[in-house]
């Protein structure tokens, strides 16, 4: 599928519509999850963890736009997104069919609360995500500034099934195998990026909801970490509304408080999607 929209990247010959970008790669992870990469507008600056509006023209020519976390880090030449497929979803029922060379609309106005500046300095940074909520952390995990600010990063990702964890698992593995990161941070980079993937509806080595594994202390015992300390631990939360509300309560139980760009505190929250889930 090719939209009749000229692209804006520096190499493109036509430049009349500023919000079209060209798809460069698409990876299907499961029947309902895929990631894709697009050209990056030369003028687009963003902080790792932020989201933008992306979309496709609808049948009436009016754009169908939705919020999407940028999954790539801010140093990347391209932009990566990680997407669900909602069977009857106005955007994703179409977006699932994109292929390299196609164009999408991208409004270059990044915003969001899951940014390092919205947290107080600390020792450990927890990324707490369900489903596609891992997307902003796919950006932050690949940003060297994350490791400059925090001694340890702990990525907790929970999905119903093992295959839904694959995108995040591969990303973490690639980071741990990255010779540049070992060069920058030493051979023990793996101990600086801890990964705790769990499932809730399929038997896997690690199971359970993030809320339960945090509240019970199981994740701390399994990873050999000290008790949560509001003076040292920071967190970012991204999942369904119900998940966000429940994790927030657990963190508040540890004495942590929610912050914002204008008021950095111990944790920040952002919805991975609006609604109850498909």
Ligand X SMILES: NC(=O)c1ccc[n+]([C@@H]2O[C@H](COP(=O)([O-])OP(=O)(O)OC[C@H]3O[C@@H](n4cnc5c(N)ncnc54)[C@H](OP(=O)(O)O)[C@@H]3O)[C@@H](O)[C@H]2O)c1
DSSP SS3 for 85: coil
DSSP SS3 for 125: strand
User: Site for ligand X (CB under 6 A): which residue of 27, 182, 200, 204?
Assistant: 200
CB of 41 to ligand FAD, least distance (A): 18
CB of 50 to ligand FAD, least distance (A): 9
CB of 86 to ligand X, least distance (A): 8
CB of 150 to ligand X, least distance (A): 24
Q: Which does 68 bind (CB under 5 to 8 A by kind): ligand X, ligand FAD, none?
A: ligand FAD
Q: Which does 90 bind (CB under 5 to 8 A by kind): ligand FAD, ligand X, none?
A: ligand FAD
Closest to ligand X by CB, 125 vs 210, is: 210
Tokens of 198: 């769990």
Q: Which does 246 bind (CB under 5 to 8 A by kind): ligand FAD, ligand X, none?
A: ligand X
Question: Which residues of the chain form contacts with ligand FAD (CB under 6 A)?
Answer: 51, 66-69, 81-84, 86, 89-93, 131-132, 135, 270-278
Q: How many CB atoms lie within 10 A of CB 117?
A: 13
Would you list the DSSP string of 204-257? -SSBS-HHHHHHTSHHHHHHTPPPP-TTTEEEEEEE-HHHHHHHHHHHHHTT--
Produce one character per residue of 217-238: b if its CB has 16 or more CB atoms within 10 Å, e if not: ebbeeeeebeebebebbbbbbb
Cβ atoms of 84 and 96 within 8 Å: the answer is: no
Provide the mask over 123-152, with x wherever binding to ligand X is found by CB under 6 A and - wherever it is not. Answer: -------xx---------------------
CA–CA separation, 93 and 278 (whole Å): 13
CB of 93 to ligand X, least distance (A): 14
């Amino acid at each position: 599928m090719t939209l009749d929209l000229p692209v804006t990247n520096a190499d493109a010959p036509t430049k009349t519509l500023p919000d079209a970008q060209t798809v460069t790669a698409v990876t299907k992870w499961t029947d309902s999850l895929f990631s894709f990469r697009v050209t990056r507008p030369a003028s687009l600056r963003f902080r790792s963890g932020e989201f933008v509006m992306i979309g496709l023209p609808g049948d009436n020519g009016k754009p169908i736009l939705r919020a999407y976390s940028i999954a790539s880090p801010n140093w990347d030449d391209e932009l990566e997104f990680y997407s669900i497929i909602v069977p009857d979803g106005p955007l994703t029922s179409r977006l699932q069919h994109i292929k390299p060379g196609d164009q999408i609309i991208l409004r270059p106005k990044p915003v969001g609360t899951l940014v390092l500046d919205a947290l107080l300095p600390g020792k450990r940074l927890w990324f707490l995500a369900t489903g596609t909520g891992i997307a902003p952390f796919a950006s932050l995990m690949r940003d060297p500034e994350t490791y400059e600010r925090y001694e340890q990063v702990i990525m907790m990702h929970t999905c119903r099934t093992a295959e839904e964890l694959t995108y995040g698992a591969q990303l973490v593995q690639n980071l741990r195998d990255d010779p540049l990161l070992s060069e920058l941070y030493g051979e023990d980079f793996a101990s600086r990026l801890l990964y705790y993937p769990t499932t809730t509806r399929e038997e896997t080595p690690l199971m359970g909801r993030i809320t339960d594994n945090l509240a019970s202390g199981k994740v701390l015992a399994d990873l050999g970490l000290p008790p949560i300390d509001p003076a040292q631990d920071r967190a970012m939360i991204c999942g369904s509304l119900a998940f966000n509300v429940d994790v927030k309560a657990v963190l508040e139980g540890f004495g942590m408080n929610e912050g914002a760009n204008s008021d950095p505190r111990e944790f920040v929250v952002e919805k991975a999607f609006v609604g109850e889930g498909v």
